Amino acid sequence: MIGAVDIGGTKIAVGLVDDDGRVLSRTESPTDAERGYAEALVRIEQMLRAMLAAAGIELTGIGIGSTGPIDPFTGEIGDVNFFPEWRGNNPVADLSRIFAVRVAMENDADASALAEAAWGAGKDKERLIYVTVGTGIGGGIILDGQLYRGVDGAHPEIGHHVIDASGPLCMCGFHGCWESLAAGPAMISWIESKMPEDYAHRDKLTAKRVCELAREGDALAREAVDREARYLGLGLANLVTLFAPDAIVLGGSVMKSAALFLEEIRKTICRCCRFVPYEKTDLALASLGEDANLIGAARVWHHRFDRKEGHCA
Ligand SMILES: [Zn+2]
């Protein structure tokens, strides 16, 4: 039984996940980063201990998926936007000391990629790219069951390749990277820049709401969705051309509305990826549902320590 810890910008989720990727129990708490790292660590310990006591079981290990950047080898938290003051703290070392088990941590997108590869839509795919589209665009690359890492363990940022160099400036340094044009907030910015004074749906627009309005036939929302599909298609076509993967698994909140985008995405891939066997790349939706991040956190432990499975290291 693996203790799974998902550290996000808004909430920390903790769960118990069995060796087949099933979540047996889960609980969560607001991240409340301003209360400090030490306080958050105590909460994680309490949540996990309460769950273990209720289930009457012992832990094999703990896996952590965290919003990044984090160092997967040292276990240190880097310069994370959501909790910059936590920098340099080490939840891997701390939870290992507290629970006397082995602990591993990965970037949360890599954790989800590992889970989809082992237990989800990417099962049995040798070359898999997981893409999550929500408030940002991130992802992970799995080759032969192994997580692809950059130099010094760096997490490749597939959401930050350039789609349109005349596009908006992103924190990554590029103008017009994929995230700046196709993440959820980009949909909202675009529709806000185009909507007339008397637009009936001005308030509380979210990417989800824009998709709902498009389904209801709102012309401007329909345009926003078409634009989103175009940019998603270009980014995914680039990944198909660069990697010619067996599968791309699509997750994240925006992809809950994938039915609105998939036709255009497929057309773009068909039109633009002629130098690779694009028709062999399976485009699949993430299949692990609401608990994907927790399942991913648990999979991080298996990937690092459970060598019996052959595919894992
Ligand atoms: Zn960027």
Distance from the alpha carbon of residue 90 to the mean position of ligand 1, in angstroms? 27
Residues lying with their CB under 5 A of ligand 1, a single-atom ion: 160, 170, 172, 177, 179
- Using CA atoms, how far apart are residues 81 and 192, in angstroms rounded to an integer? 25
- Using CA atoms, how far apart are residues 121 and 130, in angstroms rounded to an integer? 10
Query: Residue 111 — very low, low, confident or very high, per pLDDT cuts 50/70/90?
Result: very high
Which domains can be identified in the chain, with CATH numbers? 2-113+290-309 (3.30.420.40), 124-286 (3.30.420.40)
Coil, helix or strand for 276? coil
Q: Which residue has the higher pLDDT, 135 or 311?
A: 135
Distance from the alpha carbon of residue 170 to the mean position of ligand 1, in angstroms? 4
- Using CA atoms, how far apart are residues 80 and 69, in angstroms rounded to an integer? 6
Query: Residue 284 — very low, low, confident or very high, per pLDDT cuts 50/70/90?
Result: very high
Residue 307 confidence (pLDDT) above 90: no
Query: Residue 311 — very low, low, confident or very high, per pLDDT cuts 50/70/90?
Result: very low
List b or e across 278-300, with b for residues whose CB sees 16 or more CB atoms inside 10 angstroms.
beebebbebebeebbbbbbbbbb
The candidate with the shortest Cα–Cα distance to 299, out of 13, 71, 12, 18, is: 18
Query: Residue 312 — very low, low, confident or very high, per pLDDT cuts 50/70/90?
Result: very low
Per-residue pLDDT averaged across 226-248, rounded?
98
Inter-residue contact 132 to 158 (CB < 8 Å) = no
| Residues above pLDDT 90, as percent of the chain | 89
pLDDT digits (tens, 9 = 90+) for 136-146: 999 999 998 89
What confidence score (pLDDT) does residue 203 get?
A: 87
Residue 282 confidence (pLDDT) above 80: yes
Per-residue pLDDT averaged across 33-50, rounded?
96
Residue 56 confidence (pLDDT) above 60: yes
- Using CA atoms, how far apart are residues 57 and 26, in angstroms rounded to an integer? 15
Distance from the alpha carbon of residue 30 to the mean position of ligand 1, in angstroms? 27
Distance from the alpha carbon of residue 131 to the mean position of ligand 1, in angstroms? 15
Residue listed under structure tokens 């940019």: 231
Distance from the alpha carbon of residue 103 to the mean position of ligand 1, in angstroms? 31
Write out the H or E segment, with its range, that includes residue 97: helix 91-99
Inter-residue contact 120 to 249 (CB < 8 Å) = yes
- Using CA atoms, how far apart are residues 222 and 11, in angstroms rounded to an integer? 32
Distance from the alpha carbon of residue 160 to the mean position of ligand 1, in angstroms? 4
Strand partners, 162: 177
Distance from the alpha carbon of residue 138 to the mean position of ligand 1, in angstroms? 10
Mean pLDDT, the chain, as a whole number? 94
What confidence score (pLDDT) does residue 308 get?
A: 53
Distance from the alpha carbon of residue 158 to the mean position of ligand 1, in angstroms? 9
pLDDT digits (tens, 9 = 90+) for 72-93: 999 999 998 889 999 999 999 9
Write out the H or E segment, with its range, that includes residue 2: strand 2-7
Query: Residue 50 — very low, low, confident or very high, per pLDDT cuts 50/70/90?
Result: very high
Per-residue pLDDT averaged across 108-128, rounded?
95
